[in-house]
Structure 1
């Protein structure tokens, strides 16, 4: 990954219907499930990230790798820039995990990213358990 990918700032698309977003979610779910079925649990998150990117691109999805989102205080002061895992089609934040069990903190992290980036849709995906985990969140 090059430096320009690490500093990409993505603005959320608002022109897609919920049905279109659900179709994108279905494609990502299929990619993730296939990857988890093939690799199984036990790898670092980066392995699953690269595999998911590869499979999503093969399916024709636009994937932004490690985009940045600015976190602001209520008066508009920028506090910090956070790096997300992935954004699909400029409409869906993907937060990837490779842990035994997803925690409330993992959910809160995704919800915080959705709020900060002003995205409506996000997927929390965990490859670390024996059973593939994916959940959609809508703000």
Structure 2
């Protein structure tokens, strides 16, 4: 429900949003290693991963940066709707990553 609601709000703001969007994992040499599914892919430049848990744990915070590096997408958001207060973590892939 959170995914559909957020996608709807983003579309109302006239942003291009793809739900459950397949992205390829690419090695440094260009070899396709596999696929993963982004909860939301916004404006062809932002991966949004959504959680509904009491707190964000290490596995959650490791997942999105890995997706960014593997897909070569620079920006990501990790949003947790399950905490007492909405949690949002912003990730920017640097040239060092």
Q: Same fold (TM over 0.5)?
A: yes
Structure 2 residue ranges without an equivalent (≥5) = none
Q: What SS does the aligned partner of 2:35 have?
A: strand
Q: Deviations over 1:113-137 (max 9, x none)?
A: 1111111111000001110011111
Quote the Cα distance in structure 2 between the aligned partners of 1:78 and 1:132. Answer: 35
CA contact (8 A) 1:125 1:133 kept: yes
Q: Aligned with 1:65: secondary structure? A: strand
Larger % of strand: which? 2
Q: Which has the higher contact order (CA 8 A, sep 6+)?
A: 1
> Is 1:80 matched with 2:34?
yes
Unaligned runs of 5+ in 1: 1-46
RMSD value over aligned CA atoms?
1.4
More helix by share: 1
Kept in 2: contact 1:69–1:116 (CA 8 A): no
State yes or no: 1:96 paired with 2:50.
Answer: yes
Return the offset for 1:74. 5.3
TM-score norm. by structure 1 comes to 0.62
Q: CA deviation at 1:76?
A: 4.4
Higher Cα radius of gyration: 1
CA distance in 1, matches of 2:88, 2:15: 18
